[in-house]
Amino acid sequence: MQTTEQGAPQHLYAYSVREFDGADGKKARSWTRIGVAFPHKDGTGFNVEVHSFPLDGRIVLFPADADARDEQPTEAPPPPAPSRNGSPRRR
């Protein structure tokens, strides 16, 4: 991982993680990258740029060179439930 002079990570990716029941009945997670965090020049904090906000308010940060999805098994999220007219609902 690349670091700044003070040893802090160069930048972190921000993810929203949604847990759902997988096809096999086990819990699965869907990881969506929603932003990035950059350390302050003095190394005491981060600036966070978020392009969307998770509904549960939880944001997970990982170093840019570490793939967060390698940490947890994932599978495709379930399809959206159909609306009253039969077409999928959009969120």
- Supply the DSSP symbol for 2: -
Query: Which pLDDT value is given to residue 64?
Result: 79
DSSP 18-84: EEEE-TTSSEEEEEEEEEEEEE-TTSS-EEEEESS--TT---EEEETTS-GGGTS-B-PPPPPPB-T
Residue linked to tokens 């969506």: 32
Domain boundaries along the sequence of the chain: 12-62
pLDDT tens digits, residue range 52-86? 999 888 999 988 776 655 544 444 444 555 556 55
Other beta carbons within 10 Å of 11 = 19
Give the residue, 73 or 17, on which the prediction is more confident. 17
pLDDT at 15 over 90: yes
